[in-house]
Amino acid sequence: MNKVPIGLKRAATLCILRNKDKFLLLKRLKEPNKDNFTPVGGKLDPFESPLKSAIRETFEETGIKVDTMKYCGILTETSPTEYNWTGYVYIADIDIVEPPNCNEGTLMWIGFEDLLKVPTPKTDWYIYKYILDNKPFAFSAEYDGKLNLLSMTEEIENKVII
């Protein structure tokens, strides 16, 4: 298998599962974002559209079948390491279910008001906020070599976030 050259963006989906102001999030077992609460998701397969990837990843990681998801925006992450991603963000409104078992970590329902009380990537908190405000976004995040977030802009509004 060909290895992606360091610095080249890899494509992934972030699959946000929501019930009103609660999110079904994954406490990750491995890097990136180990021990942080994140949406489920993952890399696009060859020849796969972002939407099909989001639906597939949601099912693979949660067992929850969704027929469609709403596109919300994009998160582009840039660093001088191999951590360089273009993340397509989708959302599905689902019923509250008992968090299923997941081989990627532990799934838990977390209310928006509690997101700042649990470890979550800074970028994700802004994603949730824009989603709750029903605003599209195109976030661009820049990191240093140790993956500390240096800056983040929202490019539709040309607004510096961090």
pLDDT of residue 2: 63
pLDDT in tens, 13-61: 999 999 999 999 999 999 889 999 999 999 999 999 999 999 999 999 9
Domain borders along the chain are 10-160
Cβ partners under 8 Å of residue 132, min gap 6: 21, 112
What CATH number labels 10-160? 3.90.79.10
pLDDT of residue 147: 94
pLDDT in tens, 65-107: 999 999 999 999 999 999 999 999 999 999 999 999 999 999 9
- Residue 38 corresponds to which amino acid? T
Residue 102 sits at the vertex; the CA angle it makes with 124 and 91, to the nearest 5 degrees, is 40
Contact 6, 81 (CB under 8 A): yes
Examine the pLDDT at 4 and tell me if it is beyond 90.
no
DSSP-derived 3-state class of residue 128: helix
Q: Return the closest-CA partner of residue 32 out of 95, 90, 79, 92.
A: 79
- Residue 39 corresponds to which amino acid? P
